[in-house]
Structure 1
Amino acid sequence: MLSIVPVIIAGGLGTRLWPLSCEETPKPFIEIFEGKSLFQKTMLRITPFLKEGGSPLIVTNKAFESLCRKQAESIGVTQFYSLIEPCMKNTTPAIISAAYFLAHKGDDPIMLVLPADHVITPFDKFVEYINQATKLAEKGHIVTFGIEPTGPKTCYGYIKRGESLGEGFSIDSFKEKPCKEKAESYIASKQHFWNSGIFMAKASVFLSEMLKYDPTNLNLIMSSIDQSFTEGQKVFLEAQYYDQIISNSIDYTIMEKTDKGAVVPANIDWSDIGTWDAYWDHQDKDDQANVLEGQVSAIDSQGCLFISKGVEIVGFGLEDIVAISNGNKVMITTRKKAPELKKIIESQEKEKVSKSV
């Protein structure tokens, strides 16, 4: 069996969890999940795949590398390489950079690509699905994991399965985040899964498919690795080339086009914790379905999420309200409206820029 190298993608700001997630401490690094961050939980769950002397590979950027290393060391993980992007890009440059870096070392391992900010439980069950996916990856497939949907969610993309491949299915098509009516039709078909954004494939297969579908950006990625410089376990990608790379997702660049795609259905509790409502859904609640953390009180209130890392929060006679404080910043919305937070934050940032010009 080929060796498995976990590749953790640790970038992005996660503005949907503002004000706790911010430029200084983005979503993957907020320590509010049983005292650990999602990044730390991801690092801990990959340990079963590290053979003696093996180490994971972290793809991050200059702003977050020290956070990655500090949080990893605090849970006893000290041996890993960081590929440091000079600027934030999407998943295609991150994954293909990792593939070329590993291939450049003379290896062709199976890459287990995991975002740093997902919740996966129970992980021992997910390990069984990884073992299934490994068999497909060894045959040259690029495997993703399709989460068995629990309802017509509109915040996730969907994958429609094709014909059986034994351990999984071929991929018929990828679907963008749908409206509720379309999501309901996907659920009714029993042929669609949530798109997890988790992948397994040989490094060589990622590279060959990138060569087929986006050779220009592959050359830029290769040049940024070839001209990189290493400082201990840190590999700084060359900005001259990396800055020119077009920022696209791996779904768009490869997965929607390749005939090597496969999906393994996974019946697990999974979330990318992309909204405060999703966070509420995955936390322990009191007998009124409230999630309360820090200096907060909920009086005659139901289904609320109150988190205080700053000013005290007191809620009275409320239902399905989200109230988050961090330092001198406070955000209040409904759980239903919480998914729109990213647009609001981006709009405010644009307004600040226009006022400063």
Structure 2
Amino acid sequence: MIFPCILSGGIGSRLWPLSRKDRPKQFLPLFGGESLFQKTAKRVNHSGFSAPIVIGSNDHRFLIGEQLSELGITANSILLEPMGRNTAPPALMAALIAEESDPDALVLLLPSDHLIRKEEVFLEAVRGAEQAARDGAIVTFGIKPSEPNTGYGYIKVVPGEEPVRRVDTFVEKPDLARAESFLKDGGYFWNAGIFLYSAKTMIEAFKTHQPALYEGLLAVMETRHSDLDFTRLDADLFGKLENISIDYAVMEKAENVACAPVAPEWDDLGSWSAIWTVLDKDEDGNSSLGDSRFLGSRNCLAYADQGLVSVIGLEDVMVIATSDSVLVAHKDKAQDVKHVVDQLKSEGRDEVDRHPRAYKPWGY
């Protein structure tokens, strides 16, 4: 059995002012009335998968419960992190939970903020990687790059045509020249942060490469206790865990790492420029969410939470308007939105934490 584990933490600061601490991007119903979290849960709501393990923030517990309920999906468990500790602790916690139910369990670790348009292609890749995971590999899914994107890390794989190939090396986010060379080489793939592994394999990997974190997490998991539909952890013990990604903690150290290349029309919607990429466009390349108008403008994005946004005589510009904040930025500067959020945080502004309109399952 494959146990999907959906990681639903994070606040999506680069999608401010729409994404905020109390309602981050993965829970926003931007795509056909569904959120990215819901699309992720539906993606693995198939035979061969167990009910999902969801690991998320205590701040979002009711959002998680409500959005799963809207889909008619009951979670295996909803584990609430007292604070964020990156992706390494959840990778091990999911393995420990899955092994309790099935000693031979596989875990599919999934971020909740990805858009996959060809879901069957992705599921075929998962099925194709299943045996490699059962044989002891930690499989990461590499996305075939469609452009020399500098916002993603890359995975270099050994040459071949097999559905799962050995990883040569992991590469940090490159500059444009290097990204262009990766695209020409053909042996590099975007690191999607999606992993398939056996619970036993990941537990052994932590014992070998992160023994202190392993022991710390065992102690944390001993403190689990139920609270309605949720599982809580001791905040003091959890706060002492190292804040580290699964890439740094295990993937870059282990020798049993493999990659399954796949082209499922995947997008990590981490910025407004990425949102523009996946939306329908008019004949001038403009995209909109909400009520907007374009005049003499090209390749722009407009979002109107309330009222109307008009964009005149601009190119490659994003205009995002909520009831209490407006963002205007060039698409090339989409990654810098987080710096505005950091500045607002330092000033103690509520606009980074509180959404101007409370959301309930029946609407705003």
Hey, what does 1:221 align to over in structure 2?
217
Hey, what does 2:5 align to over in structure 1?
7
Hey, what does 2:239 align to over in structure 1?
243
Distance 2:327 2:52 in 1: 36
Tell me whether 20-29 or 41-50 shows the greater mean CA deviation: 41-50
Cα distance per residue 1:304-353 (max 9 Å; x no partner): 11011135311111211100112211100111111221123213322448
Distance 2:347 2:230 in 1: 37
Corresponding pairs, count: 349
Distance 2:35 2:18 in 1: 12
Moved over 4 A (4+): none
Hey, what does 1:72 align to over in structure 2?
68
Hey, what does 1:84 align to over in structure 2?
80
Displacement after TM superposition at 1:287 (Å): 2.0
Cα distance per residue 1:119-155 (max 9 Å; x no partner): 1121011111111111110111000111111111100
Hey, what does 1:162 align to over in structure 2?
158
Hey, what does 2:34 align to over in structure 1?
36
- Counterparts of residues 316-331 of structure 1 (less than 5 Å): 316-331=312-327
Distance 1:207 1:230 in 2: 24
Distance 1:206 1:233 in 2: 27
Hey, what does 1:335 align to over in structure 2?
331
Hey, what does 1:137 align to over in structure 2?
133
Distance 1:195 1:60 in 2: 22
Cα distance per residue 1:262-313 (max 9 Å; x no partner): 0011022111111111100001112221112222221222211101113531
SS of the equivalent of 1:327 reads coil
| Percent of aligned positions that are identical | 33
Distance 2:91 2:344 in 1: 31
How high is the TM-score relative to the length of structure 1?
0.94
Hey, what does 2:14 align to over in structure 1?
16
Displacement after TM superposition at 1:181 (Å): 1.0
Displacement after TM superposition at 1:164 (Å): 5.0
Q: 1:6–1:49: 8 Å Cα contact kept in structure 2?
A: no
Supply the AA of the counterpart residue of 2:36.
Answer: L
Q: 1:310–1:328: 8 Å Cα contact kept in structure 2?
A: no
Q: 1:196 aligns with which of 192, 201, 213?
A: 192
Q: 1:48 aligns with which of 16, 37, 46?
A: 46
Displacement after TM superposition at 1:8 (Å): 0.3
Displacement after TM superposition at 1:258 (Å): 0.4
Cα distance per residue 1:11-63 (max 9 Å; x no partner): 00010110110112101011111211100111111112455xx3110011201
Hey, what does 2:113 align to over in structure 1?
117
Hey, what does 1:107 align to over in structure 2?
103
Q: 1:145–1:265: 8 Å Cα contact kept in structure 2?
A: yes
Tell me whether 224-233 or 174-183 shows the greater mean CA deviation: 224-233
Supply the AA of the counterpart residue of 2:191.
Answer: N
Q: 2:54–2:75: 8 Å Cα contact kept in structure 1?
A: no
Displacement after TM superposition at 1:79 (Å): 3.9
Distance 1:187 1:166 in 2: 20
Listed as ranges, the gaps of 5+ residues in structure 2 are 350-364
- Counterparts of residues 264-279 of structure 1 (less than 5 Å): 264-279=260-275
Supply the AA of the counterpart residue of 1:78.
Answer: T
- The reply to whether residue 211 of structure 1 matches residue 207 of structure 2 is yes
SS of the equivalent of 2:99 reads helix
Cα distance per residue 1:213-260 (max 9 Å; x no partner): 111111111111111112344211222321100110000000001011
Give the superposed CA RMSD.
Answer: 1.6
Distance 2:161 2:274 in 1: 33
Listed as ranges, the gaps of 5+ residues in structure 1 are none
Distance 1:110 1:302 in 2: 47
Q: 2:55–2:90: 8 Å Cα contact kept in structure 1?
A: yes
